Amino acid sequence: MNGGMAKMMKQVQKMQSQMAKLQEELAHKTVQSSSGGGAVRVEANGKKELVSIHIDPEVLDESNSEMLEDLVLAAVNEALKRVDEMVADEMQKITGGLNLPPGLF
């Protein structure tokens, strides 16, 4: 292996190590989202797992169950979008802006 290839392999190994550490850290980082003016609030971690859901008791009425379902969906989808953004931001710090294919690490 020439010097350039050896250097590149070391960089890849370093990135792999950093990625493993990042994945562990992201499991403990959370994002929050809400809908309906805060009537529904959700929190998700970096592994795209919902950590908590809060529903204001005022919206717990059988007559508006469709609206409540829509509020929960909106809050969850926004939280998952924020997780993707958080992960992308953290990944960019490691890769230095390299556009690596998803799942590479």
pLDDT tens for 25-77 read 888 999 999 999 999 999 999 989 999 999 999 888 878 888 999 999 999 99
How many CB atoms neighbour CB 71 within 10 A?
A: 22
CATH homologous superfamily of 27-93 equals Nucleoid-associated protein YbaB-like domain (3.30.1310.10)
The model's pTM is 0.69
Q: What distances in angstroms separate CA 102 from CA 14, 67, 84, 90, 99, one per listed residue?
A: 18, 35, 12, 14, 9
User: Hey, where are the domains in the chain?
Assistant: 27-93
